[in-house]
């Protein structure tokens, strides 16, 4: 985007993008550390991530306030307006990512060192790696205003769905084979579903980045391969 006649306008847009970048970094940290806490049963780390989520809530309010100020003062048009709208939507998605990761951290505390088999949790670790890769790549696409990379992230959503479906079936099998596995498998299914939903939010961000850059909507249906038909809660 070319520079504006009023330099302070550019500074305002840069500050907005900076807030989004900060939110992205915090969201990634909460996801990474919450799942790490799950694998190691680190209750203090889990609690720290629950507390860390408050910063995302603060930043979302800050972004929303700045959006209102920019719209009121600058009356943006065309590409500027798309950039501002996208920032608001992306900020909301990142706040939701933080909430979902916080849910995983809360589940770590609920398990309370009762994860009897780390082997059962390896699938959650794997799906997290894929979802985090999506999130990192789409935030890079936002920073670079790269519509092509954003579209590629969107197309990768089926990878996370496929792993979730596989993990869902695997954990159900463990539950049926040995009733003693039911409690921990239920905890892990909850965690996996939250991570799968983080992938969905990364896809939302990808669609908003694409629209921000091109002015066009991706109208084809997202590739979905989640066959579980289940919603963990």
Q: What is the pLDDT of residues 106-116, one digit of tens each?
A: 999 988 766 66
State the sign of the Cα–Cα–Cα–Cα dihedral 80, 81, 84, 89: negative
Residue 88: CB partners within 8 Å, gap ≥ 6? 63, 64, 67
Percent of all residues in the chain with a pLDDT value above 90, rounded to a whole number: 71
Percent of all residues in the chain with a pLDDT value above 70, rounded to a whole number: 89
CB 205 within 8 A of CB 139: yes
Domain coverage including residue 90: 7-214
Residue 2 DSSP code = P
136 occurs within a structural domain: yes
Whether 53 has a pLDDT exceeding 50, the answer reads: yes
223 occurs within a structural domain: no
Per-residue pLDDT tens over the stretch 138-184: 999 999 999 999 999 999 999 999 999 999 999 999 899 988 888 88
Residue 145: CB partners within 8 Å, gap ≥ 6? 1, 209, 212, 213
Higher-confidence position of 117 and 27: 27
102 occurs within a structural domain: yes
The CATH number linked to 20 is 1.20.58.220
Mean pLDDT of 70-99: 93
**Highest mean pLDDT (candidates 12-21, 46-55, 76-85, 216-225):** 46-55
233 occurs within a structural domain: no
Mean pLDDT of 79-99: 95
State the sign of the Cα–Cα–Cα–Cα dihedral 30, 33, 35, 37: negative
221 occurs within a structural domain: no
224 occurs within a structural domain: no
208 occurs within a structural domain: yes
Q: How many domains does the chain have?
A: 1
């Amino acid at each position: 985007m070319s520079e504006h006649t009023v330099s302070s306008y550019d500074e305002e847009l840069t500050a907005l993008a900076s807030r989004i970048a900060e939110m992205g970094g915090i969201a990634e940290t909460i996801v990474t550390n919450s799942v790490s806490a799950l694998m190691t049963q680190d209750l203090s780390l889990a609690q720290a991530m629950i507390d860390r989520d408050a910063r995302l809530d603060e930043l979302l309010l800050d972004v929303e306030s700045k959006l209102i100020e920019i719209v009121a003062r600058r009356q943006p048009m065309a590409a500027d307006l798309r950039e501002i709208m996208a920032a608001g939507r992306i900020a909301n998605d990142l706040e939701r990512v933080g909430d979902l990761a916080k849910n995983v951290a809360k589940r770590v505390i609920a398990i309370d060192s009762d994860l009897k088999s780390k082997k059962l949790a390896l699938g959650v670790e794997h799906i997290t790696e894929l979802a985090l890769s999506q999130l990192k790549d789409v935030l890079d696409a936002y920073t670079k205003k790269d519509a092509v990379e954003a579209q590629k992230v969107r197309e990768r959503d089926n990878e996370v769905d496929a792993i979730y479906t596989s993990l869902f079936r695997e954990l159900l099998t463990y539950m049926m084979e040995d009733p003693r596995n039911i409690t921990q498998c239920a905890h892990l299914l909850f965690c996996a579903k939250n991570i799968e939903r983080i992938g969905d939010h990364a896809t939302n961000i990808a669609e908003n980045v694409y629209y921000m850059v091109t002015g066009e909507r991706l109208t084809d249906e997202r590739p979905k391969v989640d066959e579980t038909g289940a919603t963990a809660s």
